[in-house]
Structure 1
Amino acid sequence: MESKLKPWELVAIPLLLALLNLQNLASAVPQVPSYFIFGDSISDSGNNNKLAKLAKVNYPPYGIDFPEGPTGRYSNGRTVHDFIDYMLPFAESNEKNIFNGVNYASGATGIRDETGQHRIKNHKTIISRITSLMRNDSATKSLLSQCIYSIQIGSNGYLNNYFMSELYDTRLYSQCGYATLLVQQLSDQLKVIDIHFSTTQANAPPT
């Protein structure tokens, strides 16, 4: 039987169904309570704006395609994390929004302590706040066990460390030895970020 629908109608119907599906997804109940982001400039949503760093991008032409204009994002528009959800940077966090998640990412940060130890310290600060608000360590651990942790980091370990041997001791390492060092340090930091360590070591010094 020949269809009476016009060609444009054949295209419009699946497009409409797709839009309705996206609308349902947008209004769906969140699958996780919080979203925590660790990273460098690719993930930064404005933390460097309030840090004593030269790496700042809170001015045009950055953000020319972002609704709010320049925000400290190292891009013309959204970061990859913004496509999942908009998480406020740690610099703007408060008791009202930390349960949704926090973005700790900072442009020019890295794995080594010289360029990245503050992100672990900031996460411990947030965990301490959440624990204080919930007034229950077990409840805090239960909440954090359901969260998403996104970690994107590594390039600055070379850009701001390995290739700047005049400032750091990186000339002591071979390429393989330095890569092994970064992997080990990142592994140690992930253990600190892990929920089983976060709530029990909130006041421990950063690694």
Structure 2
Amino acid sequence: MKAVPDLLLLSVVHVIDFLKPVKAKQTAVRALFVFGDSFLDNGNNNYIEDCDLKSNYPPYGVDFPLGPTGRFSNGRNAADILAEHLGIPDYLPVFNNPQNKGDRILHGVNYASAGAGILES
């Protein structure tokens, strides 16, 4: 039974080491592309007309500097935190926003959508 605690400890150490902030001179990660459901959605469903799974109204975003954006949280989500730790500047853009093309997605884009459906319906 000793192997299980050692394995768990090893995993925790790797996660902690992975989440250390990247120094400004390190540019190992240039972009982050996020896929997922409501845990990572940053507003993709706002641009799907017939979608009922939206969170672009209070109380969502009560602790987020930009207010309610479509994140299903009161503040930053896991993708925002990971991007910050990897040294990605700003917040990842929303894929479904028609303005997010070209240079606006150089550091990655967030494809996550609440409901995690592959079809817009």
TM-score w.r.t. structure 1 length? 0.41
Q: Distance in 2 between matches of 1:117 and 1:26?
A: 39
- The Cα of 1:117 is off from its aligned counterpart by 4.3
- The Cα of 1:74 is off from its aligned counterpart by 0.2
Query: Residue deviations 1:162-185, cap 9 Å, x none?
Result: xxxxxxxxxxxxxxxxxxxxxxxx
Matched residue SS, 1:75: coil
One-letter code aligned to 1:102 = V
Q: Distance in 2 between matches of 1:79 and 1:50?
A: 19
1:103 maps to 2:110:
yes
Q: Distance in 1 between matches of 2:73 and 2:106?
A: 26
Q: Structure 2: which 5+ runs fail to align? A: 1-19, 84-90
**Correspondence for 1:45:** 42
Q: Distance in 1 between matches of 2:56 and 2:119?
A: 23
Between the two structures, name the one with larger relative contact order (CA 8 Å, sep ≥ 6). Answer: 2
What percentage of aligned pairs have identical amino acids?
A: 44
Q: Structure 1: which 5+ runs fail to align? A: 1-20, 110-114, 119-207
Structure with higher helix content: 1
Q: Distance in 2 between matches of 1:83 and 1:98?
A: 18
- The Cα of 1:26 is off from its aligned counterpart by 5.0
- The Cα of 1:32 is off from its aligned counterpart by 1.8
TM-score w.r.t. structure 2 length? 0.67
One-letter code aligned to 1:43 = L
Distance 1:81-1:94 versus aligned 2 partners, 3 A rule:
same
- The Cα of 1:94 is off from its aligned counterpart by 1.2
